[in-house]
Amino acid sequence: MLRVMILGLRGFPDVQGGVEAHAEHLCPLLRELACDVEVVVRSPYVPNDRGNNWKGVRYLRIWSPRSRALETIVHSFLGVLAAAWRRPNVLHVQAIGPALMVPLARAFGLHVVVTHHGADYEREKWGRFARAVLRIGEAWGMRFCNRRIVISQTIRNLVRDKYGLESNMIPNGVDLPELPNSTSALEQFGLTSGRYVLTVSRLVPEKRHKDLIAAYATAKLNGWKLLLIGASDHGEAYAAEVAALARATPGVVLAGFQTGLALRELYAHAGVFVLPSSHEGLPIALLEALSYGLPVVASDIPAHLEIGLDEKHYFPLGDVHALAARLQSFARMNWTAETRESTRRWVAEHYDWHSVVEQTISVYRSAMA
């Protein structure tokens, strides 16, 4: 049995973040394909009352400080020490921040695979020093690992152009959800099925919530609301700014972090899904929206364009008036049940988690060769 240790995420299930969502889908499927999977999780996010495993995936809880500046680096260092003691066949490091510890892991004789989820140093929330550290993490992770995985062609090109290195392109996947008929979450937030704009993301600057709120106000969609799902990890000032703007804009609803049936209901009954981000790797939230058959609107950044939707689904990044026009257009559109099912079939064919897992195991075996 292939023994795999996963490092570089807060934890799962129901922990906010793209890397966390990626691992939540990946790890149980690895277990189903006869891998022994242990995930190094951050104890503040996965308390003891959740037990020691989930769907056959074991937790190794390691303390981390609740500090945006120190959380990742401290936890990754301690996680590599744990991996050196436990000796997995493969240490799979998720994201370029934790990849700062790849040289140490290699010094301990570990086989290391790194997944590059995106150029995190481009995120607006980071200061100059943090961006420099993330750039070093990217460089060391890509240069010193045994094998590298990227989740999009855009990132693959970045790795090739910056470091002259090849990588395995394995995108995120999606599971087709069962569409719920219940509407209790809509009733909780005062929403009408098919009559609200939805976005799902952490409250961080690169997600551009303020652009979306401004576009919603400009569009003047009669009878529609705007629902923002997500929360801030560390109480950043940006989250307070978004909350203040939401309170000042009629029709905007802040739902906080949602999981389970409530999240499924809020996806399933939305009228339009929007992701106005300035930075993404390959956004799972957008793929999930498509898995519910929703009409989607996204900024024209490379990660979104790579998904390959029709031109009508994109708008120029930061152009509030163009986004407002897209909202007006999709609000008038008759998005039929047949169109929804066609959308669901398309995303299932192109982004399948089972294919992701099979390709990932192949990379593991290559890293050990």
- The reported pLDDT for the residue numbered 344 is 96
Q: What is the structure's pLDDT at 123?
A: 83
195 and 141 share one domain: no
Give the pLDDT confidence of 246-298 residue by residue, as tens digits. Answer: 999 999 999 999 999 999 999 999 999 999 999 998 999 999 999 999 999 99
**The token pair that represents 165 in the structure block:** 């290195």
Choice among 11-25, 227-241, 319-333 with the minimum mean pLDDT? 227-241
30 in any annotated domain: yes
The pLDDT assigned to 126 comes to 80
Same domain, 189 and 155: no
Q: In whole angstroms, what is the distance from residue 217 CA to residue 200 CA?
A: 18
Are 67 and 35 spatial neighbours (Cβ–Cβ below 8 Å)? Answer: no
Amino acid at 68: R
CB 241, CB 210: distance < 8 Å = yes
Are 77 and 199 part of one and the same domain?
A: no
Domain shared by 324 and 360, yes or no: no
Cα angle at 101 between 48 and 128, to 5 degrees? 100
Same domain, 80 and 126: yes
Q: Domain with 118 in it: what CATH number?
A: 3.40.50.2000
346: domain range? 184-350
> For all residues of the chain together, what is the average pLDDT?
95
Residue 256 falls inside a structural domain: yes
pLDDT exceeds cutoff 70 at 3: yes
Tally of domains within the chain: 2
83-115 b/e with 16+ CB inside 10 Å = b?
Answer: bbeeebbbbbbbbbbbbbbbbbbbeeebbbbbb
Q: Indicate if 260 and 305 belong to the same structural domain.
A: yes
Q: Are 137 and 81 found together in one domain?
A: yes
Instruction: Report the alpha-carbon distance of residue 355 to residue 33 in Å, rounded.
Output: 12
DSSP bridge pairs for 251: none
Q: Are residues 146 and 194 in the same domain?
A: no
Q: Is residue 54 part of a domain?
A: yes
Residues 357 and 333 in one domain: no
What is the pLDDT, as a whole number, of residue 233? 74
Decide if 81 is inside a domain.
Answer: yes
pLDDT at residue 36, as a whole number:
97
What are the pLDDT digits (tens) for 161-193?
Answer: 999 999 999 999 999 999 998 999 999 999 999
Neighbours of 222 (CB within 10 A): 7
Q: Could you tell me which residues come within 8 angstroms of residue 202 by beta carbon, excluding any fewer than 6 positions away?
A: 16, 17, 230, 231, 232, 233
Q: Which pLDDT value is given to residue 235? A: 60
pTM of the model: 0.93
Judgement on whether residues 141 and 12 belong to the same structural domain of the protein: yes
CA angle 347, 206, 112 (to 5 degrees): 65
Confidence tier at 234 by pLDDT (50, 70, 90): low
The predicted-structure confidence for 119-131, as pLDDT tens digits, reads as follows: 998 887 788 898 9
List pLDDT tens digits, range 134-156. 999 999 999 999 999 999 999 99
Residue 102 lies in a domain: yes
Residue 178, domain member (yes or no): no
In a domain, 179, yes or no: no
The string of pLDDT tens digits covering residues 61-103 is 999 988 777 899 999 999 999 999 999 999 999 999 999 999 9
- Answer yes or no: do 346 and 357 share one domain: no
pLDDT digits (tens, 9 = 90+) for 23-35: 999 999 999 999 9
Is residue 260 in a domain? yes
**In the chain, pLDDT over 90 holds for what percent of residues?**
91
pLDDT at 69: 76
Whether residue 145 sits in one domain with residue 49:
yes
Per-residue pLDDT, 289:
97
Q: What is the 3-state secondary structure (H, E, C) of the chain?
A: CEEEEEECCCCCCCCCCHHHHHHHHHHHHHHHCCEEEEEEEECCCCCHHHCCEECCEEEEEECCCCCCCCHHHHHHHHHHHHHHHHCCCEEEEECCCHHHHHHHHHHCCCCEEEEECCCHHHCCCCCHHHHHHHHHHHHHHHHHCCEEEECCHHHHHHHHHHHCCCCEECCCCECCCCCCCCCHHHHHHCCCCCCEEEEECCCCHHHCHHHHHHHHHHHCCCCCEEEEECCCCCCCHHHHHHHHHHHHCCCEEEEECCCHHHHHHHHHCCCEEEECCCCCCCCHHHHHHHHCCCCEEEECCHHHHCCCCCHHHEECCCCHHHHHHHHHHHHHCCCCHHHHHHHHHHHHHHCEHHHHHHHHHHHHHHHHC
pLDDT for the residue numbered 348: 94
